[in-house]
Amino acid sequence: MSEVSLLKQALRSVVAGQVNAAADPYRPAWHLAPPVGLLNDPNGFVQHNGRYHLFYQWNPLGCAHGAKFWGHWSSVDLLHWRHEPLGLAPAEEYESHGCYSGSAVVDNGQLTLIYTGNVKYPDGSRTAFQCLARENERGEFDKTGPVLDLPVGYTGHVRDPKVWQHNGHWYMVLGAQDLNLQGKVLLLHSADLLSWVSLGEIAGSGLNGLGQFGYMWECPDLFRLSDSDVLICCPQGLPAESDRYQNTFQSGYFVGQLEYDAGHFPHGDFHELDLGFEFYAPQTTLSDDGRRLLIGWMGIPDGDEFYQPTIEHGWLHTMTCPRELTLENRKIIQRPAHELQRLRGEEQAWQGIAQDAPVWDITHAEVAIGTEQPFSADLGGNMTLAWDGEWLRLTRKNRRSGEQEQRVWRGALRHLTLLCDRSSVEIFINDGEAVMSSRYFPDLPTQLTFSGKQPITLHHWPLADCVIE
């Protein structure tokens, strides 16, 4: 299908569906969500000329995974966003089955996208090209086309380029699957973004002391934090353990030191980034003021996503809030970006026995909970957060099976921050030591009800709408 035809189809879908989508009571007040259709991975997160740009995997034609476009938002302050011209549409032969995930860089003052062109063949096989597109004076992107073909020794599952500059050279990490069906991360370098040279595999199943560790590693992101290098990735195929790897696919990180010349990345253990029900494919950027910021997809690529009720209104999935990352004792700490505090309304505070706490509206609100003692909190009759002195448990009813399901964290609890937004909650544990991000679909307006016979300290702020132009 030609690009003109694709754009016409996308425009028709948006015009026909946006009123229904906007009327959904579960539509977020301040999280980013697609105008219509399905959203997944954040792409091309970058700050350029004082504006943040966030692209995203988007199917504007329906709530299904298909040939993905790149949608595009921008913002000065991470709060007030505007729709920009569509980033990419899968119109060329080298991207016939989707403009898959990638990143953005500023090259000689020009915003440049690096993404995967996905191609599937009638016999079931597939290939992938890493492609380039550059912004023009109209804010649109002109495609250069493929700059890297499928590397020898790998299946057609090679995708999600993340590119950065180091000592005057461009570097790229790529998610890949080798011919033994083992997940890997590849490192490449280039002088001009056009010609790429492989430096080999720097991480993956069977490398750096890992045993079997998944059949595909998606969405790699490598960056400097404090005095270490951090590799974020999404290994697919990790078997669930009693209190780890509970989602269909995982997102996590390794801390080490990248040896650029040798193409080696000795690293420590794998740590999950988020322990909630929905979190995947995060991407980071370095802000102009030196912060490492992260945004993730509040979703998981599995069958349960298609049981969410927003599909009835023609849209599916949201992004997480933007988060600031620091590295403390070789562990990533995630905190809500400080800009989000500007959404706060009038503060309410309360202290006493948990079961005597006031019932607050958390439809879109921030709640701070201070306690080391056991308590339980009901979120709109649809989700429960309970602390027993050892385990923090987040429990809800699975929308597909109707059975109770839970996610857990274990440690010494001191403090919780809940960021709630109609159909989502992000729970920051001990000022960002761990996070649990989840979608849920409570009774509206959503009420927070505490139980327990121990003391608790609470603070509550209503959160204003985020403006999307």
Contact 420, 362 (CB under 8 A): yes
- 243 catalytic? Reply is no
Q: Which residues pair with 56 in a beta bridge?
A: 42, 71
Here the contacts of 254-258 (C-beta below 8 Å, separation 24 or greater) are 254/203, 254/208, 254/230, 255/228, 255/229, 255/230, 255/327, 255/330, 255/331, 255/332, 256/208, 256/228, 256/229, 256/231, 257/228, 257/229, 258/187, 258/202, 258/222, 258/229
**Residue among 41, 160, 178, 421 flagged as catalytic:** 41
CA–CA gap between residue 370 and residue 436 (Å, rounded): 17
182: left (phi over 0), alpha (psi -120 to 50) or beta: beta
For residue 194 the two structure tokens come to 């056009």
CA–CA gap between residue 203 and residue 234 (Å, rounded): 12
What single DSSP character describes residue 249? Answer: B
Residues 388-404, buried b or exposed e (16+ Cβ, 10 A)?
A: eeeebbbebeebeeeee
The residues carrying an active-site annotation are 41
